[in-house]
Amino acid sequence: MIELLAQVIQSMAQLSTVLLIIVLLLLFLVAFKVLEMVMQTVIVSVLSGAFYFALSYFLNPVTFSIDSLLFFTFTGGSLYTLYNLVTTSAALAGDVIKLPLKLIRGVIRFIRNKLS
């Protein structure tokens, strides 16, 4: 009886280790995706700031100021984040809309088969 109890405890410890490894892998994947999105936003912000700097350097009427540089940087990052949100929402909405359509098609096929 004691040996059986020891085996059960040993198997539960192994199971918890496997579950912990799976959870850590999932968290790593989520963190990688979040970091990827953050880095893309940072790159777009830097490019927006560089665009303003080039604009003020090559065009005489535009004068360089730190406030305008920060505004361009913030605007570029915000617009990119908004674009990312809209495209992700559209892709998710497309997947969600497919589910009721498949259900309706299945019901129509079922009714046709019963009536035939």
* Residue pointed to by tokens 């309706």: 104
Would you say the pTM of this structure is higher than 0.75?
A: no
Q: 36-64: per-residue pLDDT in tens?
A: 888 999 999 999 999 999 988 888 788 88
Residues 6 or more apart whose Cβ sits within 8 Å of residue 51: 72, 76
More confident residue, 15 or 85: 85
The confidence score (pLDDT) of residue 76 equals 92
- Is residue 72 within 8 Å of residue 52, measured between CB atoms? yes
Number of domains in the chain: 1
Q: For residue 57, what are the domain limits?
A: 2-115
Nearest to 70 by CA among 39, 45, 44: 45
